[in-house]
Amino acid sequence: DAGVIQSPRHEVTEMGQEVTLRCKPISGHDYLFWYRQTMMRGLELLIYFNNNVPIDDSGMPEDRFSAKMPNASFSTLKIQPSEPRDSAVYFCASSLAKGLLNTEAFFGQGTRLTVV
């Protein structure tokens, strides 16, 4: 398996523009997580899905952020309109819950977003 795949790797956009980040989780994984990483706040969980259903979106900072998972192999994180303070590295991760046992989450390489 190629691991968690994110695109694009880098995105530079102007303030006010819509940004869409994409993620393909590891095949067979039933959990998908979106994280944001900044120098000041570290790794923050934005939202996570189980079997394509959003479970907890309490980390989504504002209504400008939205995430979808239309099927088991694809998820998007959208920011509209984007602002300079949204500049960060956005990570997608996936994991497999084996019954009651938790397992580790595997991370993609991240998307570095710069809003100017």
With CB under 8 A as the contact rule, the residue among 1, 62, 63, 104 that binds another protein is 104
Tokens of 35: 């994280």
CB of 112 vs another protein, minimal distance in Å: 7
**Nearest to 95, CA basis, from 39, 38, 43, 51:** 51
- Residue list 38-77, contact with another protein (CB under 8 A): 38-40, 42-43, 45, 48, 50, 55-56
CA distances to 6, 34, 54 from 13, in Å: 17, 20, 27
Give the dihedral of Cα atoms 8, 58, 14, 107; nearest 10 deg.
-20
Q: Which is nearer to another protein, 70 or 100 (CB)?
A: 100
Decide if residue 32 touches another protein (CB under 8 A). no
CB of 74 vs another protein, minimal distance in Å: 18
Percent helix, strand and coil across the chain, each to the nearest 5? 5, 55, 40
Binding site for another protein (CB under 8 A): 4, 31, 33, 35, 37-40, 42-43, 45, 48, 50, 55-56, 88-89, 91, 93, 95, 97, 101-110, 112
